[in-house]
Amino acid sequence: MPEIIIKRDPEEMSDEACGLVLAAAARKPAFALGLATGSTPRGLYERLRRAKGAFAKARFFNLDELHGEGPDSALSFHRALREQLLDHVDHDPGNVRFLRGDADDLEAEAEAYEREIWSVGGIDLQILGVGLNGHLGFNEPGSSLGSRTRPKTLEATTLAQYSRGGQGPRSLFVLTMGLGTIMEARRLLVLASGEEKAEIVQRMVEGPVTAEVPASIVQMHPRVQILVDEAAASRLKRRDYWKWVYANKWRVGQ
């Protein structure tokens, strides 16, 4: 069963997420951290920036990248993660392996990426958001539940989601970790906030596990924490139960 953590608002959600990431860093300073982009984890990264020294030994991977975007191009997820987090914390640039959206051969880049995750012993903690259509990474509805890192075609709704408030992706294509790749991370931390995510959060947590809602695959992960604010939790049928479980978590075995 996933652990569902419901916080009052995005600020409290980000505070809690920050605590969870820093606890993972304290347990294993050389941990491999998978980073998501998008608006949801921004508050988390803002808070992690204050823990400057926590990432000196960490390894970093990213969940996905837009096709055609190099590490320095304005729209690249690589650049966004540098600006939102890496530029502000101590880290070894040699320990950063982000997908290259500008690779000549996207298939080869995806395969090399899988090998590199494998070569460091896998991802210890993967941070994730969820798309309005249920995508996880850029595994759009219909993606194979066992998929590996590969080029993918975005849905029109995702293009619209990413084009709100400014310039959207210049290509229909992306590179994304596959659902099978994500599921191999030792821990998953899924974040969602806001009323507009309420329906998809309900389907992800309480609906059937189906490729129609790729994020529902996280129900099968042995160590997943789903951290949401009240607005995103508002449609959960077992909302009170999830709160009850979390409130009583530490009493088990006492």
CA–CA distances in Å: residue 218 to residues 120, 141, 243:
23, 14, 19
Can residue 43 be called a binding residue for ligand F6R (CB under 6 A)?
A: no
Smallest gap, in angstroms, from Cβ of residue 119 to ligand F6R? 23
Give the active site residues. 64, 133, 135, 140
Query: Using CB under 6 A, which of the segments 21-29, 134-142, 143-151, 243-251 binds ligand F6R?
Result: 134-142
**Residue in 155, 160, 110, 164 with CA at minimum distance from that of residue 135:** 155
| Interface with ligand F6R: number of residues (CB under 6 A) | 14
- Binding positions for ligand F6R, 44-103, rule CB under 6 A: 63-64, 77
Give the C-alpha separation, 26 to 158, whole Å: 36
* Tokens, residue 152: 């993918």
**Distance separating alpha carbons of residues 97 and 78, to the nearest angstrom:** 10
Interaction between residue 189 and ligand F6R (CB under 6 A):
no
CB neighbours (10 Å) of residue 253?
Answer: 4
| 188 touching ligand F6R, by CB under 6 A | no
Scanning 51-59, 82-90, 115-123, 124-132 for contacts with ligand F6R by CB under 6 A, the matching segment is: 124-132
Instruction: Check if the beta carbon of residue 96 is closer than 8 Å to that of residue 86.
Output: yes
Helix residue spans in the chain (DSSP H) = 10-27, 42-48, 77-84, 106-119, 156-163, 179-183, 198-206, 230-233, 239-247
**Min CB(43)–ligand F6R separation in Å:** 11
> CA-to-CA distance for 181 and 168, rounded, in angstroms?
26
User: Nearest approach, Cβ of 87 to ligand F6R (angstroms)?
Assistant: 18
Q: What are the tokens at 163?
A: 């084009």
Binding piece for ligand F6R, criterion CB under 6 A, among 38-46, 200-208, 218-226, 246-254: 38-46
Q: Out of 2, 101, 129, 178, name the contact with ligand F6R by CB under 6 A.
A: 129
User: Is residue 200 a contact residue for ligand F6R (CB under 6 A)?
Assistant: no
The reply on whether position 131 binds ligand F6R by CB under 6 A is yes
The residue among 57 and 151 lying less far from ligand F6R, judged by its C-beta, is 151
By CB under 6 A, name the binding residues for ligand F6R.
Answer: 36-40, 63-64, 77, 129-131, 135, 137-138
